[in-house]
Amino acid sequence: MNGGLLLVVLGLGGLSVASAQTVSEASLQPRAASSAPCVPGGDASWLTPAEKSCYATTPDYAETISYLARVQSAAPGQVKIEQFGKTGEGRDLDVVIVSRDGVFDPAAIHAAKRPIVLVQNSIHAGEMDGKDACLALLRDMVISKTKANLLERAVFVFIPIYNADGHERRSAYNRINQDGPAEMGWRGNGTNLNLNRDYLKLDTPEARAFNTMFHRWLPDFFVDDHVTDGADYQYDVTFTIDDGPNVPRATAKWVDEVATPTLEKYVDAHGHLASPTYINFVNDNDPAEGLGFNDDPPRFSTGYVILEGRPGMLVELHMLKDYKTRVTGNYEILAGLMELMNRDAEKVIALNAAADKEAEELGAHPLGNVMYPLALGWSGETTPFLFRGYKYTRELSAISGAMRVEYSHEPWNVSLPFQTGFKVKAETKVPAAYIVPAQWTKVIDVLAAHQVEMERTTAAWTGEVETYQCGGMTWQGPPFEGRHPTFNGEAMHDPGKFGSCVLVKEKMSFPAGSAVVRLNQRLSKVALEWLEPAAPDSALQWGFFDSIFEQKEYGEAYVLESLAREMMAKDPKLKAEFEKKVASDPAFAGNSYARLEFFYERTPWYAANRVGQYPVGRLLSLDGVPVAR
C-alpha cells in the first residue's frame, strides 16, 4: 500500500480547516436538514429526542433532563439521577446511575467487586454526540432491555451534560467544521473557559463539582466523549486509551493488548470504522508525513485520571460524518466497553488496586530515590500505521496564500509513520513530602479541592529543605484559559524554552499552619504534578506563584553609583567583567539602569529579595517537623 503514496499527493502544501464538503457550500447559511421525510424506527414512545427528529436535532437541557426523568420513573429500581453540583449560571449538574439491582451506593458497589464505568458528555457542548448516545443506550439497557446484559456486573454512570451553560448557548453557527445537528452548544462554559483545560488547576465551579463527584464514585474506567476537528478520512470513530509512563505498566499492557484491540474490533463489527488512535498529523500541511504523538497532560480529563490511577479513554467522533453516524458510532464504542468491563471486571479492579498501592508507595522510599517523569515529549520512534484516509489534491490557494488540501471520497489506504513511545523531558526524585507555606492559600486550596491528604504544622518551623531557584521564565501574552501561563497555550511544555528551575538546598522557615503533603497516599501523583515546577500543569506554570518573580526592593542610583566604584576597587575581576559586558553588549551599555543593576545583583541586598526562589519545600524526612493530622 505504500506504493500508492505518490499517486495521490499531487502537490505540496497544507491542510485547510474546511474539507471539500464544507467549502463547496454556496452560502453562509447553516446546513439544512434533509428534505426527505423523517420516519424514525423503533418504539415511538421511547424514541430519544434525537431519534424522533431522525438526528436532525439534539435536545436542549430541559428536554434532556425530562427524558431522563421519564426513564427513571419507568425503571426506578435500575436508574437514579443524582445532582453533583451547579454550573456558574446556576444549572444543576447531574449524573445518571444505571445498576441492574438498584444498588446505587458507590461504596457498596466497590465492595461487591462490580466495575464502575463513568462517561462524561458535552464538556465541549457543541460536541454532544455522547449525550444522545447515552440516552439511547440507557433506554436499551432498562426499557427495551436489548442491552440489559451490559449491566450483568458493571455499573454504568454517565454525565449527560457536563458543560450545561455552554450547552444552552445554542446556535447553528457554533461549529463551522461540523455536519449537524441543526443547533449545537458552545465550547466554553458560562465564563468562556474550556472545562477540558481545568482538571488540575480547578478554576471553575464545574471542575470542582466534577472532582468531588469523581472521588465519590472513583470509577474503574473513565470515558470522555468528543467530536474532532481536523482532516477528512474514512473513520467515523477514533479513540485513544493512555498507556504512557505515568500509567502503571500492568495497566498499560492491558490497554495495549486487550482493551484497544477489543474495542476496535467491536466497533468495526457493528457497522462503523474505528481508529485506535486520535488522528493528529505531524504536519497539517502534508498528511502524507504521518501521524503525530498525542500528548495528554493533566489539564485534560483523560490526562488527569492517569494521576488518579484509572484507565481513561478519549472518544472522538468524526466531525464531517452525519449526526446519526456519529451518535450511533458513539453508542457502539460505549456498548463495546461495557461488554469488555463485564468480561474483564476482576482484572480491571485488580489493576486499579495495584495502581493505588503503587501511588501510596511513591514517597515511602528514603532519600527520594524513586524517579517520577513530569513532562512528556515526542520520541524519535515511529510505528507503521495503516491509515484509512481519502485521496486528496493540493494547490496554492489564491484566498489564503497557503496550500489548500481538497479531499475526494475515494479511499486512500496507506501505511504512514505514527509517532509512538515517550521521551521524558523532565523528571524528579520523589521526596517523602512537600511543605507549602501557610500564606500560599490558593495553592493549598487546590490541593484540598482534589482531596489530597494534608497535615498542618502546629508551630513555626525552620530547617533545611530541597527547593528550586527559578529563572528565565517568560509568560504568554494573550490569555489562555483566563491566565497567562509560562507555557505556550496548547503547545507542548518545554522547560528549555519557558525557563528553568534548579534544585537547591536551603534553610527555610515555615509558619504555623503550613501544609505538609506526604507522598505515601493514593493521590501522590496529583501532588507531584501540582507542586513540581517543571510539571506541565503545575501551580507555577499556571501562574499561582507569579509573585515570586517580582523584585520588591531596589537600589537608588545615588547609592549604587558610589557602591559600584567601591566594589570595582575591591574586586578587579568584577571590574573586568563589567567593562567586558559594556564593550560587547550595546543594549546593556546604553541602559543606565541595567548597568547599575549589574552591581546591585551582586550585593547581599539583592539576595534578600529572593527573586525566583520557589517557596515550597521538599522534605526527604519529616523528622523534627511539627505536624498534626
- Stretch (H or E) spanning 463: strand 461-471
Domain(s) of CATH 3.40.630.10: residues in the chain = 69-362
Read off the pLDDT band of 366 (50, 70, 90).
low
pLDDT digits (tens, 9 = 90+) for 28-76: 454 444 456 788 877 899 999 999 999 999 999 999 999 999 999 999 9
Confidence check: pLDDT of 625 > 90: yes
Q: Tell me what percent of the residues of the chain surpass a pLDDT of 90.
A: 79
The confidence score (pLDDT) of residue 27 equals 42
- DSSP code string of 352-415: HHHHHHHHHTGGGSGGG--EEEEEEE--S-EEEEEEEEEEEEEEE-TTTSSEEEEEEEEEEEEE
CA atoms within 13 A on the CB side of 392: 29
Span of 14-18, 305-309, 349-353 with lowest mean pLDDT: 14-18
| C-alpha to C-alpha distance for 125 and 383, rounded to whole angstroms | 34
Residue 8 CA to residue 404 CA, distance in Å, equals 14
Give 26's strand partners. Answer: none
pLDDT mean over 542-570:
95
Q: How confident is the model at residue 285 (pLDDT cuts 50, 70, 90)?
A: confident
Centre a 10 Å sphere on the Cβ of residue 612 and count the other Cβ atoms it contains: 19
Retrieve residue 366's grid coordinates.
528514603
| Alpha carbons 355 and 251: distance in angstroms, whole number | 8
CA–CA dist 19, 409 (Å, integer): 11
What is the reported pLDDT for 425?
75
pLDDT in tens, 107-128: 999 999 999 999 999 999 999 9
- CA dist 289 and 485 (Å) reads 31
pLDDT tens for residues 138-155? Answer: 999 999 999 999 999 999
Cis peptide before 181 (omega within 30 of 0): yes
What percentage of residues in the chain have a pLDDT greater than 70? 92
pLDDT at residue 378 is higher than 80: no
Q: DSSP letter string over 309-360?
A: T--EEEEEE-TTS-HHHHHHHHHHHHHHHHHHHHHTHHHHHHHHHHHHHHHH
**Architecture in CATH of 69-362:** 3-Layer(aba) Sandwich (3.40)
- Banded pLDDT at 489 (limits 50, 70, 90): confident
Q: Which among 309, 329, 331 has a CA at the least distance from the CA of 319?
A: 329
Least confident of 191-195, 283-287, 504-508: 283-287
Q: For the chain, give the mean pLDDT.
A: 91
Please name the amino acid found at residue 229.
D
Q: By three-state DSSP, how is residue 469 classified? A: strand
Q: Is the peptide bond before 298 cis (omega within 30 degrees of 0)?
A: no
Instruction: Output DSSP code: residue 545.
Output: T
Distance from C-alpha of 162 to C-alpha of 131, rounded to nearest angstrom: 10
Q: Residue 441: which residues within 8 A CB-CB, separation 6 or more?
A: none
Q: Report residue 250 as a C-alpha cell.
A: 500492568
Strands 627-628 and 455-457: antiparallel
Q: Across residues 481-495, what is the average pLDDT?
A: 76
